[in-house]
């Protein structure tokens, strides 16, 4: 289903012969992506603005695929599956629907594509065959994944904004830190709110502001990685927990809050 700005719903068609479908993302041109399934077989699908489905091109010898993100140019990321345990490779479809590998330019290799921006830059992780292990990586529109500067074994880049600034996690010293990589590879640690210890940073906007939680409270991070708690929706009531889930380029934040005497509620911070 898709919903327009008035809240009216539209049902997307399944490809003929495929009774199940899941939509994962939609862009500002109302193009949606996801999957359609028949029994245990699942393939990546693109729906046009009128809800008509098209299967995306498949890499040779693949036995399944997923489409997870689409940008405003119609470029899509996801994965393709091959026979054998763990044989999943990150792929990109260009606006015409042509598929390419992201882990290697010529063959499937272990990698995960997690986000794509409107410049066609992809955030994710790729397997480093020389050093061993997965590392945070980025791929420009033209190219396959390249490891982020200073990325440790087990690191990941999971969000990229339209200025090629990345959000992710890597090991610094003996700790796993949530970090922001700028478009030159410089690293900023996203610090917890003073007096708290755990943070989970979810999303990043084009101004470089990030949101998430510090301990169990919604928080916002500035471009220097310093965090501030977001205000309570109901001052004077005992807050159980709150979460900031995403932030747009106007600075509006979507999340939730739960009080001891009030069930979990959707919240917008402006």
**Closest by alpha carbon to 232, among 196, 265, 193, 197?**
265
In angstroms, rounded to a whole number, what is the distance separating the alpha carbons of residues 252 and 270?
5
pLDDT value of position 86: 58
pLDDT value of position 70: 97
Query: Structure pTM?
Result: 0.90
pLDDT value of position 12: 82
**Closest by alpha carbon to 59, among 85, 37, 78?**
78
Q: Could you report the per-residue pLDDT of 234-253, keeping only the tens digit for each?
A: 776 778 889 999 999 999 99
**pLDDT over 60 (residue 1):** yes
**pLDDT over 80 (residue 178):** yes
pLDDT value of position 76: 98
Q: Report in angstroms the alpha-carbon separations of 51 from 2, 5, 14, 54, 185.
A: 9, 16, 9, 10, 39
Q: Could you report the per-residue pLDDT of 190-236, keeping only the tens digit for each?
A: 999 999 888 999 999 999 999 999 999 999 999 999 999 998 877 76
**pLDDT over 80 (residue 17):** yes
Q: Report the chain's mean pLDDT, rounded to a whole number.
A: 90
């Amino acid at each position: 289903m898709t919903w327009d700005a008035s809240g009216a719903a539209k049902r997307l068609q399944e490809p003929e012969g495929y009774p199940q479908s899941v939509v994962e993302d939609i862009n500002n041109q109302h193009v949606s992506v996801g999957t359609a399934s028949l029994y245990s077989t699942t393939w990546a699908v693109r729906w046009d603005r009128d809800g008509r489905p098209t299967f995306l091109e498949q890499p040779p010898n693949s036995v399944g695929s997923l489409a997870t993100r689409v940008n405003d140019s119609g470029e899509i990321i996801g994965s393709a599956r091959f026979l054998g345990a763990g044989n999943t490779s990150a792929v990109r479809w260009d606006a015409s629907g042509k598929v390419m590998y992201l882990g290697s330019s010529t063959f499937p290799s272990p990698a995960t594509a997690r986000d794509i921006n409107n410049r066609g830059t992809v955030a994710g992780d790729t397997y480093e065959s020389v050093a061993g292990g997965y590392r945070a990586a980025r791929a420009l529109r033209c190219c396959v994944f390249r490891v982020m500067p200073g990325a440790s074994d087990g690191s990941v880049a999971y969000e990229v904004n339209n200025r090629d600034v990345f959000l992710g996690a890597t090991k610094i010293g003996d700790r796993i830190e949530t970090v922001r990589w700028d478009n030159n590879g410089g690293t900023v640690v996203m610090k917890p709110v003073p007096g708290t210890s755990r943070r989970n940073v979810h999303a990043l906007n084009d101004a470089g502001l990030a949101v998430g939680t510090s301990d169990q409270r919604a928080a916002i991070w500035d471009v220097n990685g310093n965090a501030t708690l977001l205000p309570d929706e109901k001052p004077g009531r005992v807050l159980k927990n709150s979460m900031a889930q995403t932030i747009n380029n106007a600075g509006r934040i979507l999340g939730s809050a739960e009080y001891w005497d009030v069930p979990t509620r959707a919240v917008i911070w402006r």
